[in-house]
Each structure stands twice: as structure tokens, then as C-alpha cells.
Amino acid sequence: MNRTRAIIAGAVLLGIIILVLLNNRANISAKSRNEFQGAIPVTVAEARSQKLSETLSLVGTITAINDVAVTAEVAGKVTAVLAGVGDHVKAGAPIIQIDDELKKAAFEQAEANYDRAKRDFDRFKSLRAEQSATESQKENAWTGFKVAEAQYIVARRQLRDTKVCTPIAGIVSARNVEPGTMVNDRMVVANVVDVSRLKVKLNIAEGDAFKLKTGDRVEVTTDVYPGTTFEGRTTSISSKADEGHTYPVEITMENSREHPLKAGMFGRISFVSLAPTEVLAIPREALVGSMKDPRVYVVDGSLARVRTIVVNGEAGTDLMVLSGLRAGESVVVNGQNNLKDSVAVQVLK
């Protein structure tokens, strides 16, 4: 038994000695190969922290602050046109006149009935106070007066509606009728736009929507007035995305007297109030692989070590690094095609 144990112990000891010798031989061989091959020359750049002034510029269509389709409230024949295309009109100004002969006659009749019913009610009210009329007679007179009053109000409104008026001040951009045209109830007869102020509606990607806030200043430029910048403000940012996962944003701006803008023009909207952010930047050439799996070689002493990073976008020729690097670390920007992880490098100045 003792002899068997001694044989086993001797075999184990011999195996350990053989493994140590083989490992030493492998290390010596690897060291010899590295010394033979030498360090790989590379060029590096320092990961640096910088403030990035972010800008967002989009093209949109400039529209009027108010664009109203003026409709007829009564049917009839147009007897007069009171405003033409391009005319500036005040709020409440008539644009067309519809034949009012019958409406005027109906109004005069309703007015006469109203006056008579009012006198009758006043008389019965006085008689009732003197106990010379019954309460029923007074109530009947009151009912007749209210019916006549309602008919008078309807006739007055119908007569007034024979003049089709604009509800807003602005410029007549379209007129769809001429004298003699027959119009129907709710028919659009003209269009009036208010361009004293303008607005632009845009759709912003979800990543940008959360960087904006109402009241932010924007700059608007157009091809019509090159070199001229108009100032506007962000007035609304929708809280709900559309089907394309973008958020509607509305910009308002004052129209310029020196350089008047028209509804329908294209304008480039630049959001200039975005706060600068501090980011870690490295040259685009340092990237190994793709943007989906970004990696770089970081010089650690005399060795180049591969590092996985998270990229937050691009700014010019730089990559914005979200994590994986620290400011001041050196990344390889030239010669990385010959590198593997933990290979010796020589940094060229």
C-alpha cells in the first residue's frame, strides 16, 4: 500500500514538473516572437471634452395667422360685389350684397307686428294693474309679444345676412362670385387672410421635441430675401405624436413691413435657443467596425487594447462618445488595421 502511494505521488510530481517546463517554454517563445516582430507604429488622438452648440434647422411653409373662408348665410342672387381680390378689409366689412328685397319686406312686417304686440302687452299690463283685465288676457298678450319678438329677431338677422361680411381683418385672397351669381346657404363666396402675423407648422422628431420648449426663439430665412433673418417664437409643441412618431410644432412671427412675406412661401426655421451640451469627442477615424458595434483601440502604456464604446451621434468629423472612454485617454486613429487586442505599439509623434 505504501509503495503504491509513493508511485502515485511520484507520477503527480513528475506531471507538474513537465507542465511548468512546457509553460516556461511557451512564454519564452512568445517573448522571442514579440521581440522579433517589434512594436507596431500608430498615430493617436486624445479623447477631449468639448461644448457642442447644437443646432436644428428645418424647412416649413409659412402660412397666415388666420385664414377664413367667408360663407353666405342666406340663398339668393348677388346684386353687388363690395370687395375685390387684393383689397384690405376691416373686420365686419361687407364683401358681397345678396338680393334683399323680400328679406326687407319680411323684416318690416315683423317689425310692425313686434311694435303692435309690445303696445298690446303694455296696455294689458296697465289694465291688469287697475283690475280692468284678467290675468289670462295679460298672459295671452305676453305670449303674443314674445312670438312677435322672435319673428322680428329672425327677420332682422335674415336681412342682415344679405350682406356677406368678413369676420376678420385682412386681405381678400379669393372671391368666388360675381354680380348675378346665385348663391346657396353655406356656400363659400370669398377667402380672407390675415398676414399681419404669420405661422409655420413643423413636425419634429421625438429626439428633438424634448429639447424644445414654448417661447424658444427661432430664426427664419427665405430665398426671397437672402441675407435677411426674421425672428419668431415657438408657441406650441404637441403632447401627442402623429402616425409617423413626430410631434407637431407651431412657430409664430410678425410680418415685416420692409420685407413683407406672403402665405405659402418656404422658410428655413433654425432653432437657435438649444443649450450647448458638454460631450466627449474623438475623431471619426478612430472607429473600428460599424456605428452599430462601435469599438476603438486605446493605448495603455505600450499596448493597444480594444474598447467597446457607446456613440451618441456625430458632429462634423467627430464622434460624440456617451460612455466607454474618459477624457484624456489616447485612441488610435491611424494604423489600427494592423492591431489586435493587447499588441505592443509605438506612438508616432
Q: What is the pLDDT of residue 242?
A: 86
Is 158 in the same domain as 216? no
User: Binning pLDDT at 50, 70 and 90, where does residue 142 land?
Assistant: very high
Is 292 in the same domain as 237? no
Higher pLDDT residue, 188 or 212?
A: 188
Q: Are 66 and 195 in contact (CB under 8 A)?
A: no
Q: What is the pLDDT of residue 315?
A: 73
Give the N- to C-terminal CA distance of the chain in Å, as an integer. 70
| Average pLDDT score over residue span 104-108 | 96
DSSP state of 8: H
pLDDT tens track for 210-234:
888 899 899 999 999 998 999 999 9
Q: What is the pLDDT of residue 33?
A: 47
Is 209 in the same domain as 162? no
Q: Is residue 298 part of a domain?
A: yes
Instruction: Name the CA radius of gyration of the chain, rounded.
Output: 43
Question: What is the distance of C-alpha 243 from the center of its chain?
Answer: 14
Of 237, 234, 266, nearest in space to 253 by CA: 234
Coil, helix or strand for 105? Answer: helix
Domain count, the chain: 4
| Average pLDDT score over residue span 135-154 | 94
Q: What is the pLDDT of residue 32?
A: 42
Q: Is residue 330 part of a domain?
A: yes
Is 203 in the same domain as 178? no
Looking at residue 221, which CATH number applies to its domain?
A: 2.40.30.170
Pick the most confident of 44-53, 148-157, 203-212, 307-316. 148-157
Q: What is the pLDDT of residue 117?
A: 95
Range of the domain at 22: 1-29
Is 161 in the same domain as 214? no
Q: Is residue 34 part of a domain?
A: no
Residue 186: left if φ>0, alpha if ψ -120 to 50, beta else—which one? Answer: left
DSSP state of 53: -
Q: What is the pLDDT of residue 34?
A: 45
User: Binning pLDDT at 50, 70 and 90, where does residue 16 land?
Assistant: low
With 0-12 CB in 10 A as exposed, 13-18 as middle and 19+ as buried, what is 250?
middle
Is 77 in the same domain as 16? no
The rounded distance, in Å, linking the Cα atoms of 228 and 191 is 30
- 44 to each of 2, 30, 40, 48, 305, how far by Cα in Å? 65, 26, 12, 12, 13
With 0-12 CB in 10 A as exposed, 13-18 as middle and 19+ as buried, what is 103?
buried
Q: What is the pLDDT of residue 230?
A: 94
Q: Are 252 and 301 in contact (CB under 8 A)?
A: no
| Average pLDDT score over residue span 306-327 | 85
pTM, 2 dp: 0.59
Q: Which grid cell sits at 339?
A: 492591431
| Average pLDDT score over residue span 258-274 | 88
| Average pLDDT score over residue span 193-205 | 92
**In terms of DSSP bridges, do strands 343-347 and 40-46 run parallel, antiparallel, or are they unpaired?**
parallel
Last residue of a domain, one of 271, 306, 336: 271
User: Binning pLDDT at 50, 70 and 90, where does residue 289 land?
Assistant: confident
Is 206 in the same domain as 319? no
| Average pLDDT score over residue span 241-248 | 88
Q: Are 271 and 218 in contact (CB under 8 A)?
A: yes
